[in-house]
Amino acid sequence: MSQVHAINTTGDRGGLPQRVHLREVGPRDGFQNEPEVLATADKVALIEALARSGITRLEVTSFVRAEVIPQLADAAQVLRTLELPDAVSVSVLIPNERGLEQALLVRERFDEVNVFLSASEAHNRHNVNRSVDQSLDGIGRLLARAGDAGLRRQGTIATAFGCPYEGRVEPRRVFEIARALRDAGCEEIAFGDTTGMANPLQVADFFGGARAALGEQVELTAHFHNTRGQGLANVFAALQAGVTSFESSFGELGGCPSGGPDGQPATGNIATEDLVSMLHEMGVETGIDLDRLLDATRTVRDLLGRPLGSHVLTAGPVAWSAPRPA
């Protein structure tokens, strides 16, 4: 297990939580948005390697139509083949009822569903060709069926901090959508900075308001993108606002396929290695072994055959015992 350091002048953690939950979303958010299609056996080996690093929450795939996202056409096969410790909670992304039906054929192979919509009308229309209210209706039916199947339910709200089409998204509107998801059965709600528009002050305000608007029962998760290099700063702001659940992607894989009005993808989940390194250096526990995590990331880098965005993958973990550079 990697050493956890608490390097600051006072020896405390500045009010930060002692421990946080991380969900690794690279096998879904990453593989879905990278141009290459990895072989099923490679995906399975990577997911198992991620679990060996101590990650206990994994979003492994999505049940989407193969014509739309060929990268994830093997969702059922991935789930059937995976061998993971019982401690790992396996999540799948469900876009619609057809996807849920497909997923329920392998119900015994996963634990959680993640359903999603955008907070802004324009992004939601662009992404799923529905209004936000229409999406909420459909999601309500999905969540009811998933609940009947005994699945834990997560709802993700994209463009929660800003929309590439509409600009500012009012937190009040985001909380209204979040309450609808909570009332429809979500135990956890993730707020996505889908195109990397959030800044740390905004994040601090947002999560201060979110807890008050949503009560103590629902888990609030932050899903930041590093599109403009502010991903980890936003994590720090969220930590200070009391958030203890985060999502990230190994190697900084993935992003958003329908990012901006110009059609350019807004790449850049925050890299799990960078997130884990920062948290450990601040004395916040994750339960993840950074060296083993880096093994998994090196493997996916070698499979894809190109450099990845992760900083710690390039620099290596902080080595406090190393000699100071001259």
Q: How near is the Cβ of 250 to Zn ion at its closest, in Å?
A: 12
Cite the beta strand spans of the chain per DSSP E: 21-24, 57-62, 89-93, 112-118, 152-158, 188-192, 219-223, 245-248
Per-residue mark of binding to Zn ion, 62-91 (x: CB under 5 A): ------------------------------
Under the binding rule (CB under 5 A), the answer on residue 29 touching Zn ion is yes
Structure tokens, 321: 């015992």
Stretch that binds Zn ion, among 23-31, 44-52, 59-67, 154-162 (CB under 5 A): 23-31
Closest to Zn ion by CB, 16 or 94: 94
From the list 58, 256, 284, 300, the catalytic residue is 256
Q: Does 269 bind Zn ion (CB under 5 A)?
A: yes
Quote the CA–CA distance of 107 and 264 in Å, as a whole number. Answer: 35
Segment near Zn ion (CB under 5 A), from 12-20, 22-30, 134-142, 286-294? 22-30
Is position 256 annotated as part of the catalytic site?
yes
What are the angstrom distances between the C-alpha of 302 and each of 234, 268, 307?
30, 19, 9
Q: Which residues contact 33 (CB under 8 A, 6 or more apart)?
A: 253, 254, 255, 256, 257, 265, 267
How many chain residues are in contact with Zn ion, going by CB under 5 A?
Answer: 2
Shortest distance (Å) from residue 189 CB to Zn ion: 15
3-state secondary structure of 73: coil
- Considering only the stretches 93-101, 105-113, 261-269, 270-278, report the one whose residues sit in contact with Zn ion under the rule CB under 5 A: 261-269
Residue type, 37: V
Residues marked as catalytic:
256
**What are the residues binding Zn ion (CB under 5 A)?**
29, 269
